[in-house]
Amino acid sequence: MPKSTNRYSQFAKAAARLSGRPRVFTLAVVLILVWLVTGPLFGFSDTWQLVINTSTTIVTFLMVFLIQNTQNRDTEAIQVKLDELIRATQGAHTALLDLEELEEEELDAFRVKYEALASQARERLKRGGTDTDIQDA
């Protein structure tokens, strides 16, 4: 598959990579220290405080969108990979392929079923058995 040509996706990926680097963190710490040091020069004025408040609010606001984009993309990629593992595993239940698309009630029904299977497996282990190849409840 071709790499993304969507400019926003490219920007979000690059910004996420860049913002997670130690140098960027160090730069943020330095900027805060510079702001702190300039406090006495500006008499700790309201404008001086407004600079840091506004700056951090803007950066935080923008980072929320970039982080969400990155999280959505990563989650979707993981889901596709998990779906492929389920699909390629002999004996796996392919009905599990798109659980993330189900309504909460349907998802709860699957969860209850698998909790019962886990409970059965723990009981088997207590009796010295194995926790693999348990038949469906």
What is the per-residue pLDDT for 137? 45
| Ranges of residues in the chain whose predicted pLDDT is under 50 | 137
* Domain coordinates in residue numbering, the chain: 7-93, 102-137
- Are residues 136 and 129 in contact, defined by beta-carbon separation less than 8 angstroms? no
User: How far, CA to CA in Å, does 42 sit from each of 23, 27, 48, 57?
Assistant: 28, 22, 6, 21
What is the per-residue pLDDT for 8? 87
With vertex at residue 59, the alpha carbon angle to CA 56 and CA 64, rounded to the nearest 5 degrees, is: 120
pTM: 0.65
H-assigned helices in the chain: 7-19, 22-38, 46-88, 104-126
